[in-house]
């Protein structure tokens, strides 16, 4: 940064008084996300000799840079702060924050050495910031060592390492620390539950949530957001209704994120009426996620007409749909046989809202047209797609070919699938069944033998009964 050169630091402009300096510092905090304004204020601070041996201006500027979009500037400023005796614990904390934003582990290690050299490792909040940086940089072994070396640990220290390791999927070590933590709080419980949910271990997440409630710890909005996906996976409707009741009692349902998560939860555990009731009670708090969740829920339950009506209501309410909203309404049209409406939505997405469709949108259109028997049109759309589609799209068309007995197109589709993916045996079974229905038994037998010759595997189906396979 040119503004930090000794030439500028030595300028002899008249110094400003303490009030003016505080105003400049306040401006820093207001414009910490705007680089140009930040540099202008920075130059004013330098020109008016605000950077004397007082650490406060250094701290304000370090904080502004470390929280802004260019944290590397904070590290350059930190070097100058050390020359001017402003390298106290606060300065190190902001420098570590900058390292975390940049994801520079080597810089973190250098700062770690300076922390030890200055004797700041005995300052709990500095050491906690150090552990947090190691975790954010993915240096889990270093963060574990730094945490174990901490002479004094507070609740923040424990929570940083528990939530950090759980976020990286290291739930076993996180759970070990969780059980060792002297005084667990709602942050600890929420972090651990979220870790299990992210690690696709919903049963453990729900069990820990029930234990949390039994021990008298009141869940927060973050806890609710962490446990709802787990409840969706295990299908525990009674726990979901109990959670909803708690959110209403404690006022958590007024948080739009909680309301949206409850809409999604009820839709996934089979209670679409409760999902609609939560949506209706949100009134003016609804946002795009709320509308998308309820449309997706009705599409999931096969209530296509209602999903399309809600989509129209959303547009009348002035909410602009995004690509996920369009994907939900296209799913609804596909499963409800609303082909013309689905095609109209697809064109509206492209030409009215300027949203470029991706493979998932094309997959919906292919499925929609295929279900309606318009296979030639579906195949032409795939061929006209500007990029190569994946095997899933071609597999969708293959299933439609099987439904309508289009063997010739099915064989062409099968060749496309084999060019992209060879190990899935279910495609051979579909083609073999098509040939068998046309009484082409010898061809069907040849296709069946290809499964063994190519070492293809047919994935067995699974059924969930009361949350167990």
Q: How many CB atoms lie within 10 A of CB 449?
A: 12
Note the pLDDT of residue 207: 95
For the chain (469 residues), the mean pLDDT of every run of 10, in chain order, is 39 48 60 58 54 61 69 72 63 76 78 76 80 87 90 92 94 96 94 96 95 94 95 87 93 95 94 95 93 96 95 95 96 91 93 90 88 87 78 80 80 75 63 66 65 57 54
Note the pLDDT of residue 441: 64
Q: Which residues contact 292 (CB under 8 A, 6 or more apart)?
A: 321, 322, 324, 325, 328
Cβ–Cβ < 8 Å for 187, 163: yes
Note the pLDDT of residue 437: 65
Note the pLDDT of residue 457: 54
What is d(CA 192, CA 198) in angstroms, rounded to the nearest whole number? Answer: 10
Note the pLDDT of residue 8: 34
Whats the size of the chain, residue-wise?
469
What is d(CA 312, CA 321) in angstroms, rounded to the nearest whole number? Answer: 10
Cβ–Cβ < 8 Å for 205, 197: yes
What are the structural domain ranges in the chain? Answer: 153-271
Note the pLDDT of residue 155: 93
Angstrom distances, CA of residue 337 to CA of 171, 233, 309, 348, 370: 44, 28, 15, 18, 10
What is d(CA 235, CA 467) in angstroms, rounded to the nearest whole number? Answer: 6
What's the fold here for domain 153-271? 1.25.40
Nearest Cα to Cα of residue 136 among 71, 222, 82, 80: 71
């Amino acid at each position: 940064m040119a503004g930090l050169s000794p030439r500028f630091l030595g300028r002899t402009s008249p110094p400003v008084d303490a009030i003016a300096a505080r105003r400049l510092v306040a401006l820093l905090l207001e414009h910490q996300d705007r680089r140009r304004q930040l540099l202008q204020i920075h130059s004013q601070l330098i020109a008016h000799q605000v950077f004397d041996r007082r650490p406060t201006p250094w701290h304000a500027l370090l904080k502004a840079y470390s929280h802004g979009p260019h944290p590397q500037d904070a590290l350059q400023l930190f070097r100058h702060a050390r020359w001017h005796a402003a390298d106290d614990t606060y300065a190190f904390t902001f420098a570590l924050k900058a390292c975390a934003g940049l994801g520079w582990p080597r810089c973190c290690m250098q700062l770690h050495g300076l922390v030890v050299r200055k004797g700041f490792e005995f300052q709990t909040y500095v050491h906690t910031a150090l552990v947090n940086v190691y975790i954010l940089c993915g240096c889990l072994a270093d963060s574990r060592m730094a945490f174990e070396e901490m002479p004094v640990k507070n609740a923040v220290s424990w929570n940083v390492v528990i939530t950090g390791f759980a976020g990286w999927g290291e739930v076993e070590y996180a759970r070990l620390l969780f059980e060792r933590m002297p005084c667990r709080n709602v942050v600890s419980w929420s972090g651990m539950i979220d870790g299990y949910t992210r690690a696709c271990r919903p049963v453990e997440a729900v069990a820990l949530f029930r234990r949390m409630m039994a021990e008298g710890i009141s869940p927060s909005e973050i806890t609710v957001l962490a446990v709802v996906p787990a409840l969706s996976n295990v299908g525990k409707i009674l726990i979901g209704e109990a959670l909803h009741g708690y959110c209403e009692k404690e006022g958590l349902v007024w948080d739009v994120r909680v309301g949206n998560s409850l809409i999604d939860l009820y839709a996934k555990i089979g209670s679409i009426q409760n999902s609609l009731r939560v949506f209706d009670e949100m009134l003016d708090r609804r946002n795009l996620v709320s509308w998308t969740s309820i449309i997706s829920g009705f599409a999931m339950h096969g209530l296509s007409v209602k999903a399309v009506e809600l989509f129209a209501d959303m547009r009348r309410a002035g909410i602009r749909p995004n690509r996920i909203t369009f994907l939900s309404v296209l799913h609804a049209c596909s499963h409800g046989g609303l082909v013309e409406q689905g095609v109209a939505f697809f064109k509206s997405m492209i030409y009215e809202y300027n949203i470029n469709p991706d493979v998932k949108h094309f997959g919906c259109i292919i499925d929609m047209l295929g279900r309606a028997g318009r296979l030639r049109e579906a195949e032409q759309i795939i061929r006209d797609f500007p990029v190569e589609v994946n095997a899933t799209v071609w597999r969708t068309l293959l299933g439609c070919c099987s439904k309508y007995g289009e063997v010739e197109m099915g064989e062409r589709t099968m060749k496309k699938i084999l060019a992209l993916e060879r190990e899935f045996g279910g495609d051979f079974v579909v083609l073999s069944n098509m040939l068998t229905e046309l009484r082409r038994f010898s061809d069907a037998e040849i296709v069946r033998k290809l499964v063994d010759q190519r070492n293809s595997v047919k994935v067995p189906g699974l059924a969930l009964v009361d949350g167990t396979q």
